[in-house]
A and B are shown apart, each in its own frame.
Chain A
């Protein structure tokens, strides 16, 4: 089998039948009145894994995290961490720590006191506490800021203090609630890599909640895409991107063109789809489909090729250049087909001077390979 994406991963306990999960959600449901925040959800997470819960707001990802921290109790189902059922264990006795979205730094305590707070609860010896505080401050590169109060720090520094504080107790699982949400774009990108390095260094299990697909893709070993209290797909980032199981996942993670249609023929390794747009798509068949079944064909913009001259062969669409956006590394075209549908095409600017000269309202031809997209049935 060809590997998806461009990354070979050595860490993949989820495909190893011999490894047992470190953390399990078993049929967990959480209702707030009539609202079902988490709906009969089961999930296994492995030791040392960097796991991301990704989904739109209100999808239940934060509730899941808060149930693990102990701030919410599941309406039904079990949460088992390292062999121990978490039911009835209050937040202050759970071997997990959380980094809050608002950071929740204690404003009346210095950075060092904030970090020492959790250690003091364990009745750790004074010398040991200050050693540990120094250690985590070094980890987040804030050694010189120990005496500062939170309001004397920048947003990025506060984020590090929050991280240091949640790591100080060496939790079995570190919970990160939108850890980079409050940072500006540039700082977020830097911090992403630091966070990933930190996790590799510590081998702590990280569970991150985010609505930012890029953040999840960069950081996580595996991503669970959630919607309406359910998990739609759990897979490594490349698989989520290249082999989404449903329209929602394809659409939520990255940019995508979706063509709805009916299967006209399915022979051998091939499937022909008659789209509602009036043209046929010939695609590689990698899911079981029947003739007459309603399916969607999802196609990432960068997997399409664009030309100014007519192209022969299957899977060619013709239309008018409706919009062009130049991003630097890629140029994005919106091609308006004669049916009115818009097809998004991303062209990688591999050379400084593009041989393709297209401008607004030109006729353009778009084509793609049989294995460029994916047939999804959900």
Chain B
């Protein structure tokens, strides 16, 4: 007895910051660590944060027949103060007052949520099968999941047009085997968007789930069986809960980009399904209304920040 371990002691042992610093032979100021963290930090600040702040600024501006097509601009320092006073929240008010934007947001989130669930339903059994495959096969199976990335994303989405269109490969196949007599209308419907998203994002769901299943100790399910739990029950009480970090990571990796997806709904969904990515595109190029386009984008980021924060909290807790 008397071998009590305080919670947290284990974590402290693992992180061992001081030990690492000593290992790298660098003084207590951790110059090396600052550089290692600093470079990607500056990269993100310069290429993500600054452009985002510019977009925020444009969203507070007003359209103008000018180049660039909005006012105010901050070229001459003497006009900065008057420029600041011209910034307005009008664009946000406009978005809030028009149903079109609200519908586009809800449709985007609904499509993203539904396709995340569909992707999960396909990816989980796939990842489970991969994790249970003989170890020698696993590398090959992971390669097969990654393989589609070797072809351009755009080309793969175009390929789906050839498959899904009324005279496409799928309809030809179904008609030749006599399953249907009339071609199915899939292209330019929400169904085609689901197919496109599930297909494109499947690896992002499969790989984290596979990773969490693969590193799971096999003796845990044996222990569950040994203690009287039949296989299916062991899955729900042991395997699934322990793979949750992978499931959550996968869901966010699918949901977040799917909500802002532009290419797939544009190419496969037709003009009737107006998702938010398409809305931004229309405002920007067709209406030439940069401020409203920017406001729509900023609101989308704000909506997605919530799940990202939840995601990061979850990751921090797991780690």
Does more than half of chain B's interface fall in helix, strand or loop, or is it mixed?
helix
Q: Does the CB pair A106–B5 fall under 8 Å?
A: no
How many chain B residues sit at the interface, stated as a range, is 20 to 34
Q: Does the CB pair B238–A100 fall under 8 Å?
A: no
Q: Does the CB pair A92–B226 fall under 8 Å?
A: yes
Whether B227 is near chain A, meaning CB under 8 Å from some CB there, is yes
A112 to chain B, nearest CB (A): 14
Quick check: which of A114-122, A245-253, A320-328 contacts chain B, the rest being far away?
A114-122
Contact of B226 among A97, A102, A141 (CB under 8 A): A97
Complex contacts, B10 vs chain A, CB 8 Å: 151-152
Whether B67 is near chain A, meaning CB under 8 Å from some CB there, is no
Q: Does the CB pair B222–A91 fall under 8 Å?
A: yes
CA distance A100 to B227 in the complex (A): 12
The interface size of chain A toward B, counting residues with CB under 8 Å, comes to: 34
With A98-B223, A141-B1 in contact, do A169 and B228 touch (Cβ < 8 Å)?
Answer: yes
Whether A292 is near chain B, meaning CB under 8 Å from some CB there, is no
Whether A154 is near chain B, meaning CB under 8 Å from some CB there, is yes
Contact of A104 among B219, B230, B233 (CB under 8 A): B219
Whether B173 is near chain A, meaning CB under 8 Å from some CB there, is no
Q: Does the CB pair B3–A100 fall under 8 Å?
A: no
Whether A172 is near chain B, meaning CB under 8 Å from some CB there, is no
Beta-carbon nearest neighbor of A94 in chain B = B226
A-B contact pairs, 17 of them (CB 8 A): A71-B225, A91-B225, A92-B226, A92-B230, A97-B227, A98-B222, A100-B222, A102-B219, A104-B217, A104-B219, A108-B242, A117-B227, A117-B237, A152-B7, A154-B4, A157-B3, A165-B227
Residues in chain B within 8 A of chain A (CB atoms): 1, 3-5, 7, 10, 217, 219-220, 222-230, 233, 237-238, 241-242
* Beyond A100-B219, A106-B223, 17 extra complex contacts between A and B, CB < 8 Å: A70-B226, A91-B226, A92-B225, A92-B226, A93-B228, A100-B223, A102-B219, A104-B219, A105-B223, A106-B220, A117-B229, A118-B227, A118-B228, A121-B229, A121-B233, A151-B10, A154-B5
Residues in chain A within 8 A of chain B (CB atoms): 69-71, 90-93, 96-98, 100-102, 104-108, 117-118, 121-122, 141, 148, 151-154, 156-157, 165-166, 169, 187
